[in-house]
């Protein structure tokens, strides 16, 4: 089987979805991690994905981006180990889970990183934003727990797509000291899936890739820009932090989606 290349950052939950799926499907891959790496690798990322986001999957001449589209590609190209559940209703359910956590839940750990790692706020202000993010995450966890019902997996009887897409976000919250209610089925599910080699490896690589706040704030001062788009921008505004967006624009250390054409 030919090898594919995954352009990623180990902490990116979107990249983690793809990595778990590649491991589950036993597809050989090599990793290229360009975030904050050499200029050459950054060039590869931007030519592979005009949004300048990870993950990107390179398969021969093909360059595929957006984690959901990559997962669909893997399922189409390597159908032997299916990850989607059987049945239209179950498939619609796991796709809905993916859409919701990719947008609404993700924005919260992103926002917490903006405060605690990129230090966009300090003191009481930082505490208030952290409390806001924590409350939101606990709300999404209770929603997820209801969606899981009393089943072993989001995919149904066996581990699959529904679990792969939720796992990175529930685990990501642990970086900020947030965990599902220990009595909940969501907590039992998290412990269960952490035992799977694909998940164990992906979470261990994420942990090893944890960011150093001193290094990241220095990077911002040196011209590194964080992407404030879609639900992330909404998070800042809803949290009452429009001034943080304005300061980021003034200091040129935030960016929005890149254009797809040559300026
Ligand atoms: N919708 C995209 C989102 C990917 C995304 O936002 N990736 C982040 C990392 S978690 C990124 O590369 N951001 C670039 C930046 O912050 O400059 C997907 O599902 O792949």
Query: Whole-angstrom Cα distance, residue 228 to residue 130?
Result: 18
Query: Whole-angstrom Cα distance, residue 68 to residue 70?
Result: 5
Burial of 156 (0-12, 13-18, 19+ CB in 10 A): middle
Contact 22, 74 (CB under 8 A): yes
Query: Whole-angstrom Cα distance, residue 79 to residue 228?
Result: 35
Ligand 1 contact, 17 CB (< 6 A)? no
The pLDDT of residue 142: 98
Please write down the HEC assignment for all residues of 93-159: HHHHHHHHHHHHHHHHHHHHHHHHCCCCCCHHHHHHHHHHHHHHHHHHHHHHHHHHCCCCECCECCC
Contact 70, 18 (CB under 8 A): yes
Quote the ligand 1 centre to 182 CA distance (angstroms): 30
130 CB-near residues (< 8 Å, 6+ apart) = 112, 115, 116, 176
pLDDT by residue, tens only, the chain of 263 residues: 789 999 999 999 999 999 999 999 999 999 998 877 778 888 889 999 999 999 999 999 999 999 999 999 999 999 999 999 999 999 999 999 999 999 999 999 999 999 999 999 999 999 999 999 999 999 999 999 999 999 999 999 999 999 999 999 999 999 999 999 999 999 999 999 999 999 999 999 999 999 999 999 999 999 899 999 999 999 999 999 999 999 999 999 999 998 888 77
pTM over 0.95: yes
The pLDDT of residue 41: 83
The pLDDT of residue 28: 97
- Top mutation candidate among 13, 54, 71, 255 for ligand 1, by most atoms within 8 Å of CB: 54
Structural domains in the chain, CATH included, are 4-77 (3.40.30.10), 88-263 (1.20.1050.10)
Rg (CA), the chain: 18
């Amino acid at each position: 089987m030919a090898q594919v290349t995954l352009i990623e950052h180990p902490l990116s939950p979107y990249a983690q979805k793809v990595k778990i799926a590649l491991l589950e499907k036993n597809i050989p891959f090599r990793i290229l991690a360009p975030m904050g790496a050499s200029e050459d690798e950054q060039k590869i990322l931007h030519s592979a994905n005009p949004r300048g986001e990870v993950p990107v999957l390179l398969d021969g001449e093909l360059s595929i981006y957006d984690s959901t589209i990559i997962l669909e590609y893997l399922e189409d190209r390597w159908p032997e180990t299916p990850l989607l559940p059987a049945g239209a209703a179950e498939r619609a359910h796991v796709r809905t889970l993916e859409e919701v956590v990719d947008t609404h839940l993700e924005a919260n750990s992103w926002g917490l990183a903006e405060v605690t790692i990129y230090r966009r706020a300090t003191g009481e202000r930082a505490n208030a934003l952290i409390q806001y993010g924590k409350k939101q995450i606990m709300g999404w966890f209770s929603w997820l727990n209801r969606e899981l019902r009393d089943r072993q997996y989001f995919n149904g009887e066996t581990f699959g797509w529904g679990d792969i897409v939720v796992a990175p976000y529930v685990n990501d919250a642990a970086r900020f000291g947030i965990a599902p209610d220990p009595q909940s089925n969501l907590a039992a599910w998290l412990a269960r899936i952490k035992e799977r080699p694909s998940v164990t490896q992906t979470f261990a690589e994420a942990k090893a890739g944890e960011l150093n706040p001193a290094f990241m704030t220095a990077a911002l001062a040196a011209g590194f820009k964080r992407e404030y788009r879609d639900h992330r921008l909404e998070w800042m505004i809803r949290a009452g932090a429009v001034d943080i967006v304005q300061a980021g624009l003034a200091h040129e250390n935030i960016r929005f989606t890149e254009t797809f054409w040559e300026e």
